[in-house]
Amino acid sequence: MARPGGIFVPLILAFSVFLFAQESLLVVINEFGQGKGGNGEWVELLVVGTGPCSTVDLRNWVLRDYQGDAFGGVYVKFATIEVWRAVPAGTLIVIYNAGDTGNLPGSLSKLS
């Protein structure tokens, strides 16, 4: 996942374009970092939903790096499991570079 320049700037731009194309913003990129030398990259997503008591179904959502080939690149996909079915507004989701999982708690190393 580590490439010169990192993947998260193009990834964030592609995700932002997708979000702004929607009628209502359900999830926004709250914060991101590239780490040193392409390792330690991360992105923090904030679930905003349609209001303070709303939920968002994130099952099968994809966060993709469209750098280079529009159909290739690196991506993460939210699993089709119950935990992603009704994510409450206000939830923060942090996604880390898979190449740097040695420092992560076990629950943060996968999206399932």
Domain ranges of the chain: 8-100
Separation between Cα atoms, residue 59 and residue 112, nearest integer Å: 10
Two tokens at 97? 């570079």
Tokens 């929607």 belong to residue: 22
Terminal CA-to-CA distance of the chain, rounded, Å?
Answer: 19
- Predicted confidence pLDDT, tens digits, the chain (112 residues): 444 445 555 555 555 545 444 456 799 989 988 777 666 778 899 999 998 899 999 999 988 776 656 566 677 889 999 999 999 999 999 988 766 555 544 444 444 4
Q: Classify residue 107 as left (phi > 0), alpha (psi -120 to 50) or beta.
A: alpha
